[in-house]
Structure 1
Amino acid sequence: DVATVLAFLLEERRAWLHGDQAVPIERLTMLANERSVALVTPDAKVNWLCHPEPDSAAIFADLLGGPAAGHFSIKPEHGSLPLGQRYLPGTMIVETRWSRLLVTDYLEHDVASHRTDLVRRISGSTNAVITFAPRPEFGQVPVRLLREREGLRVVGTSDPMVLRSPGVDWDITSDGVQETARAVVRPREGAPVLLELRCGTDDISEHAQAESVRRDRAAGYWSDWAAGLHLPKVQTDLVLRSALTLRGLVHKDSGSIMAAATTSLPEELGGVRNWDYRYCWLRDGAMTAAALVSVGSYAEADGFLAWLHGVLETIPGPERLHPLYTLHGTQLGAEAVIESLPGYAGSRPVRVGNLANQQVQLDVFGPVVDLVVQLATARGSLSDADWSMAGAMAEAVSRRWHEPDHGIWEERHAPRHHVYSKVMCWLTIDRTIKLGEQFGRELDPSWVPLRDTIATDVLKNGWNDEVQSFTTAYDGDDLDAASLFVGLSGLIDPTDERFQSTVTAIEAELRSGSTVYRYRRDDGLPGDEGGFHLCAAWMIESYLLTGRRTEAEELFGQIVAAAGPTGLLPEEYDPIAERSLGNHPQAYSHLGLIRCAQLLSQ
């Protein structure tokens, strides 16, 4: 009855708020198909799926609100625990296995751009319970479920949605607002149960191709791509998984690249440091594309640079680039809070949008030029379009490098003269000069003196004698892991005592065992955060540049140990609680892992 249903929902909500049902972040596994992403728990619950785009509202948001926020679950009727979960090697197809039950999940390829098609295949020899609870618009739109001969039709959404499930006998219940479908099925030898969620269409009819053909096509898409990669000898399988994960964050229709697949996974459990990373940051996107170039895949870099050319056409000049855009290259709307969702393990607020869109971040030009350099060097040729892009980034730097900015970490304080941002401005000019020289292009005569001017400015104002380190910014003595780029970029030689001293100072203040924090200063927000896997990767590279290979290998091993059972990494790690934190999977973390494995293989 209604009272029983409400009591059950209240108990589930209580457990969720206390973290009892929050799956450890690193144990979530991503599905991807070149335009959509979804997350699956270790027991085969789809707890995150957005439609029609990855940065749209969620259909299943159990990740951020528990079962009441929507999920699509499959489990054995008699409650045995799963034996394990894995990706099929070299693919983004996921298998979850129990003693007599196997669930195979993938997002279908070769569907229209307005569609998101999730295929779930149940095989084995025991009864399975299916729960289908779509909650469009983060659960803010009530839906009804209509039984049809071939499955279920979701009613009440602006975008059509059906679940093809021939032969499944659904029982539909209501909590007074939302409806949920439940069924018990028993797969037979050679006759698996097929569930096909189709978002963006009302077509519930049988597909023209057999499911096995579509599954093979989905597998082949990834495995064929993976076969062409050049992988290091260190942690080869994990590097491959990182490369596949980065490719899964690429939005092929537009060429943009997501920073992460989720929003609002907390940087501190119960805290407010919850951000939406489902967009394309110029910095993150360029670094991701560069990582893929480094393993032999160039198409993602071409797509990203074409996307960025499109963005540039919408603004007066390159110096007016925003730090991030939607996946289709438009400006973000205002940052907002979904009040109805309690957040992951009760970590409020759940945010959509990102206020950093309005910040000044002058470091973003450097990674774009660095990508152009890596792509041209890998190919042995430089296109006119890519040279034009490098020139645009140099132009942006020449106009704005002297300004204060909000920096790479997007602090919501007044702008400062961040050392990392100045270094990236220097890198922009330096790499553009070297690119032009390498490929015989005409250089702007102002670039060489500008490079020297920026370098002099950093060395004069960024170094602090008292702390014997390059600091966060010109106006203080606080430290920042990003300042390691004074040496990592080549602005000073790694053998320079100032870089050696900076590595030691940042290690002493910001490293905690298996991770490295971004900084320890007051950034205007309450609470704490974990250490960043990307910062740990920078420390590993710094160790190697300063002759400390043993420490580099040790720290790399700790990053590897923090990965989930299917090889995925979120943004952060709490070394005290030994808990992963932040949005997941995070491009930064995986590109850092790839870089370290490559360096350690040399």
Structure 2
Amino acid sequence: MKQNLDLAPVGNCSVSALIDRCGRYVWACAPRVDGDPVFSALMDGDDPEHGFWEVCLADLKDVEQAYIKNTPVLRTVLTDTNGSAVEIIDFAPRHHKHHRTYRPVAFGRIIRPISGAPRICVRLRPSADWGARRAEATSGSNHIRYHCTDLTLRLTTDCPVSHILEERTFRLETPLAFFLGPDEGYDQEVGPGVAATLDRTVVYWKDWVRTLYIPLDFQDAVIRAAITLKLCAYEETGAIVAAMTTSVPEFPESGRNWDYRFCWIRDAYYTVRALNRLGAVDILENYLVYLRNLVDNSAGGHIQPVYGVGLEADLSERIVDSVEGYRGMKPVRVGNQAHEHLQHDVYGQIVLPLVQSFYDQRLIRPGSVEDFCALEAVGDRAYALHDQPDAGLWEFRTIARVHTYSSVMCWAACDRLAKAADALGLADRAEVWSQRADTIRARVEAEAYIPEEGRFGASFGGRELDASLLQLVDLGFLDPMDPRQVATFNAIERDLKKGPYLFRYVEPDDFGEPETAFNFCTFWFIEALHLNGRTAEAREIFEQMLSRRTHAGLLSEDIALGTDELWGNYPQTYSLVGIINCAVLLSRSWTDVR
């Protein structure tokens, strides 16, 4: 079976898995999203011997798959050549229990016959040691223990255990329930217990979606993006990961295979900002806790661009040879060297979401003067580093420049601190931060502006372009109709737009010339088109981007020209943020249906 990214995630903000079109688990890490994969088939060629969980229907003819509406609960229907069919329901439990949210490191699965006399085989083969071997199994009368690398998973089921251990084909005559989770006893009848957990999980997600403020148009796309962004949150600490996977290449044989299962300050900033537009304050609040801990831990010093979901600073990068890689394309990386980088935009991306806490009266814990004083240390770093070289938001490994985007983010940090100080009645501090913001603005306008072209460059003194210059409007640094911004937009459209898509940049980097477009940048371009009065064009490209989504309604990081094939890690939070932002911007108003 050829690997592709047409996968559907299930999860509960504690653990997640990716399931293919036939209902096969092909990727899941436990006990955390950045842990050792217990299902590793996605990274192990086209015919792996283990690392999956599948239900094989004899004489399979047809497959249908879709989510239960407004949930991450997945329904797959397999039909054989005689018309016999089975239904597979997959989910990760999440619901209220004992006055808290129940979200175990566990997956639930129910298999039901829905017509005829289907014959199935359940093949459950977790992996261990980063896919190097099949997890050892021991069994009891109603359970099987799988001894993976960092934990032991226990399958409790009302299916005959020997059917699973022997991978026996049998007739499915009654519903079967499976609970794959912690190595502890299941204290209730498994069939009714899993069914009740499923029902409560469906109710939880439908209730959560009901709290969202969504646009009139593109509702299905926005809801699916919002649910999946929530699945990328590690609720225990408030971290938000950039993607659920590692090492899906940006394009074939590129070597651009990165581990995205960590919390980038930049990605998380864009994520909470998009969800805030929908009113999803729960994710914002939890992420602010994560940020405040990072600020405290830094003690006014260096802040990395990326951390582990448990606030870990050391994400040492290594290459594993135990799996073949996505479509056999190595390397497979664990960890990310970006934790060593200097990326000065992170100071702005910490300040901007935290400043909201000084204004937002919905928050259970609003920002205090003490919080502001702690945040000023981050602003001090932004001011000190606004004109210093860094790796930039695209994380160049061997190229250091004073990147315009990083400098403008440092300006935004000072600008927002001035506004926050004013809101808190700290007039003297407001004056200090306002003056600092003015100083940075003057430096950017002097060093990044190219007078003979009337536009900005991507670095101080440089002429190169990158798509991040479109963010000068979003950050409030320039008005969209400022002639300098219009000229910058025109240059970006001329040089970075390929077909309907936008590249981050086109100049060679550490790995040569890019060959795929970056989906988030295309969404930035759509926003810029709209702000430049070209809304019809913006809507046309947005519709094209929506058509490129997987059947699960999601996008990865990159897209190939010509074939429109998705590449890069999946599902990518940046890309889902783009869907939400553009949908909100381009939708008709609710007043249009009065």
Superposition TM-score, scaled by structure 1 size: 0.89
Q: Distance in 1 between matches of 2:23 and 2:59?
A: 15
Report 1:340-351 matches (<5 A).
Answer: 340-351=322-333
Inter-CA distance 421–37: structure 2 relative to 1 (3 Å threshold): same
Report 1:104-503 matches (<5 A).
Answer: 104-109=89-94, 115-124=104-113, 125=115, 126-141=118-133, 143-155=135-147, 157=149, 159-168=151-160, 170=162, 182-188=167-173, 191-198=174-181, 200-203=182-185, 206=188, 210-317=193-300, 319-374=301-356, 376-379=358-361, 383-384=367-368, 387-388=372-373, 390-444=375-429, 445-465=431-451, 467-503=453-489
Deviates more, 1:306-315 or 1:200-209: 200-209
> Is 2:40 the counterpart of 1:61?
yes
Inter-CA distance 113–169: structure 2 relative to 1 (3 Å threshold): closer
Cα offset, 1:166, TM superposition = 2.6
**Contact conserved, 1:290 with 1:375, CA < 8 A, in 2?**
no
> Is 2:23 the counterpart of 1:44?
yes
Cα offset, 1:396, TM superposition = 2.2
Q: Distance in 2 between matches of 1:181 and 1:573?
A: 41
Cα offset, 1:158, TM superposition = 5.3
Cα offset, 1:564, TM superposition = 1.1
Q: Distance in 2 between matches of 1:439 and 1:557?
A: 43
Inter-CA distance 532–155: structure 2 relative to 1 (3 Å threshold): closer
Identity between Structure 1 and Structure 2 (%): 30
Q: Which residue of 2 aligns with 1:581?
A: 567
**Contact conserved, 1:77 with 1:128, CA < 8 A, in 2?**
yes
Cα offset, 1:574, TM superposition = 1.1
3-state SS, counterpart of residue 576 of structure 1: coil
Inter-CA distance 113–281: structure 2 relative to 1 (3 Å threshold): farther
Amino acid at match of 2:220: D
Cα offset, 1:157, TM superposition = 4.9
Q: Distance in 1 between matches of 2:245 and 2:122?
A: 24
Cα offset, 1:572, TM superposition = 1.2
Amino acid at match of 1:79: L
**Contact conserved, 1:164 with 1:205, CA < 8 A, in 2?**
no
**Contact conserved, 1:117 with 1:196, CA < 8 A, in 2?**
yes
Deviates more, 1:370-379 or 1:495-504: 370-379
Cα offset, 1:511, TM superposition = 1.2
Q: Distance in 2 between matches of 1:511 and 1:475?
A: 23
3-state SS, counterpart of residue 278 of structure 1: coil
Inter-CA distance 104–142: structure 2 relative to 1 (3 Å threshold): closer
Amino acid at match of 2:169: V
CA offsets per residue over residues 314-339 of structure 1, 9 Å max, x none?
2231x411111110111133101111
3-state SS, counterpart of residue 88 of structure 2: strand
3-state SS, counterpart of residue 146 of structure 2: strand
Amino acid at match of 1:92: P
Report 1:529-540 matches (<5 A).
Answer: 529-540=515-526
Amino acid at match of 1:38: A
Cα offset, 1:560, TM superposition = 0.9
**Contact conserved, 1:282 with 1:323, CA < 8 A, in 2?**
yes
Aligned length: 569
CA offsets per residue over residues 363-408 of structure 1, 9 Å max, x none?
1122333323455555378521653464343222122222111111
Superposition TM-score, scaled by structure 2 size: 0.90
3-state SS, counterpart of residue 68 of structure 1: coil
- Alignment root-mean-square deviation, CA: 2.3
User: Structure 2 regions of 5+ residues with no counterpart?
Assistant: 80-84, 590-594
**Contact conserved, 2:213 with 2:279, CA < 8 A, in 1?**
yes
Q: Which residue of 1 aligns with 2:82?
A: none
Amino acid at match of 1:133: R
Q: Which residue of 2 aligns with 1:74?
A: 55
Cα offset, 1:184, TM superposition = 2.5
Q: Distance in 1 between matches of 2:540 and 2:435?
A: 41
Amino acid at match of 2:74: V
User: Structure 1 regions of 5+ residues with no counterpart?
Assistant: 1-19, 173-179
Q: Distance in 2 between matches of 1:156 and 1:482?
A: 42
